Amino acid sequence: MTKIPNVKLNNGVLMPQEGFGVFQIPDFDQCKQAVKDALSAGYRAIDTAQAYHNEEAVGDAIQESNVDRKDIFLTTKVWVSNFGDHKTAKSVEASMKKLKVDYLDLVILHQPFSDYYGAYRDLEKLYHDGKIRAIGISNFDAGRYVDFVNNVKVTPAINQVETHVFNQQTEDRKWMNKYGTQIESWGPFAEGKNGLFTNPVLKVIGEKHDKSAAQIALKFLAQSGVVIIPKSTHIERMKQNLAIWDFKLNDDEMNAIRGLDLNKSLFLDHHAPETANQLNHLH
């Protein structure tokens, strides 16, 4: 079985560098089966969220799998409608109940909107109480991130942001590195946008290593020090996504892929007032 390396978070906690994401698998049975398949394929990190509406399915899968809870790095994310002093703690406890666990490895604030300071204070307390092993944020751009780390007690262990070959987050990463926050990618395949799966640069490099363009896209992120959580509901694809730890890209290959960076989101502009409006009204 593939040995997935760990990254060490800023508080010393070890996190697998590759995990399994369950975004857009709201169907209970399908999600439960996918998580069981992922665990049997060798994944040891599972990433869910309140907004994915599948925490119960993830919890059932973990319970029914033959993998010990302590060997699974489990992440969930708090949605904006649950942000605020005391409100966030209650929502995390509800998530734990759904997931059927008595602690979480990582809890992330899902968006940089609403009362994220109040929400984070709740996470800090749960962290100090030992209910959460690490706490983090998601979708915080460099400016908002730097402001945030200067005004909280516990520096976020993770900032989960859109990161793929077309949006490599080079500038933002300098600031995360400065303050000691690990970058984690959502959308490592850009959901296939810009023809990622047939990109000529990725394909040519893939042919040299007997790998697919998708595997090269993942390897590039991993080799750049990014934590990745690719999603698939097909066990063969899950295994392919794990089969990236047995080779290395050389400097020329890394540089060629760096040249694909468009340095912009292919999904959501978190600076736009429309985005703030939309995400504040989603439940």
Q: Which residues carry out catalysis?
A: 52
Q: How many angstroms separate the Cα of 183 from the Cα of each of 157, 177, 191?
A: 9, 9, 19
**What type of residue sits at position 76?**
T
Closest Cα partner for 27 from 50, 49, 58? Answer: 58
Q: Tokens 């590195």 belong to which residue?
A: 177
Continuous H helices in the chain:
28-41, 55-64, 87-99, 116-128, 142-149, 170-179, 200-209, 213-223, 235-242, 251-258, 273-280
- The closest alpha carbon to 208, from 259, 249, 245, 267, belongs to 249
Instruction: Render 152-184 in DSSP notation, one character per residue.
Output: -SS--SEEEEE-BTTB--HHHHHHHHHHT-EEE
To the nearest 10 degrees (0 to 180), the angle between helices 251-258 and 200-209 is 160
Under DSSP, is residue 195 helix (H, G, I), strand (E, B) or coil?
helix
Contact 224, 168 (CB under 8 A): yes
Is 110 annotated in a binding site? The answer is yes
Q: Which of 154, 138, 101 is nearest to 23 (CA)?
A: 138
Coil, helix or strand at residue 77:
strand
Asked if 139 and 270 count as a contact pair (C-beta separation under 8 A), the reply is yes
Which residue positions form the known binding site for substrate? 110
